[in-house]
Structure 1
Amino acid sequence: MSLAIAIITDLIAITVLAYVLYFRRHRRRDLLLSYIALNIGVLAVTIALSSVEVGIGLGIGLFGILSIIRLRSDQITQQEIAYYFVSLVLGLIAGLRPVPEWITPVLSGLIVLAMFVVDGRWTARRARRRTVTLDRAYLDEGELEQVLRDTFDTASVRFEVLELDLVRETTVVDVRYQAAKSTSLRPDHVQTSSLVSAPASPAPQSGLPARVPAPAPFATPPRPPLPARGTAPAPAPVDASARHHVSA
Structure 2
Amino acid sequence: MDIFNLTFSDSFPLMIVRFIILILVTWAIVHKLYYRKSHRRDFYFSFMLMSVAIFFLVYFMIFELEDLKTKTSIGIGIGLFGIFSIMRYRTDAMPVREMTYMFIIIALSVINAIANNVSLVELLLTNTLIFSIIWICECRLKQAAFKLVQYDRIDLITPDKHNEMKADLTERLGIDVLHVEVGSVDFIRDMAMLKVYYSATASDSDLQQRLQLSKEDKKQFT
Q: Give TM-score scaled by structure 2 length.
A: 0.61
Aligned position for 2:150: 133
Larger helix share, 1 or 2? 2
CA shift digits 1:75-107 (9 cap, x unpaired): 554333332222112112211216343222112
CA shift digits 1:170-211 (9 cap, x unpaired): 2222233458xxxxxxxxxxxxxxxxxxxxxxxxxxxxxxxx
Secondary structure of the corresponding residue to residue 181 of structure 2:
strand
Contact 1:10 1:91 in 2 (8 A): yes
Q: Give TM-score scaled by structure 1 length.
A: 0.56
Separation in structure 2 between the aligned mates of residue 178 and residue 14 of structure 1, nearest angstrom: 28
Separation in structure 1 between the aligned mates of residue 32 and residue 57 of structure 2, nearest angstrom: 25
Aligned position for 2:121: 102
One-letter code aligned to 1:109: T
Separation in structure 1 between the aligned mates of residue 123 and residue 25 of structure 2, nearest angstrom: 11
1:159 equivalent to 2:180? Answer yes
Gaps of 5+ in 1: 180-248
Q: 1:124 aligns with which of 119, 142, 147?
A: 142
Separation in structure 1 between the aligned mates of residue 33 and residue 123 of structure 2, nearest angstrom: 20
Aligned position for 2:28: 16
**Residue 128 of structure 1: how far off its partner (Å):** 4.4
Contact 2:179 2:196 in 1 (8 A): yes
Secondary structure of the corresponding residue to residue 89 of structure 2:
coil
Secondary structure of the corresponding residue to residue 29 of structure 2:
helix
Q: How many residues align?
A: 177
CA RMSD of aligned residues (A): 3.5
Contact 2:81 2:110 in 1 (8 A): no
Aligned position for 1:41: 53
Bigger radius of gyration among the two: 1
Q: Which structure is richer in relative contact order (CA contacts within 8 A, separation 6 or more)?
A: 2
Contact 2:81 2:107 in 1 (8 A): no
**Residue 45 of structure 1: how far off its partner (Å):** 2.8
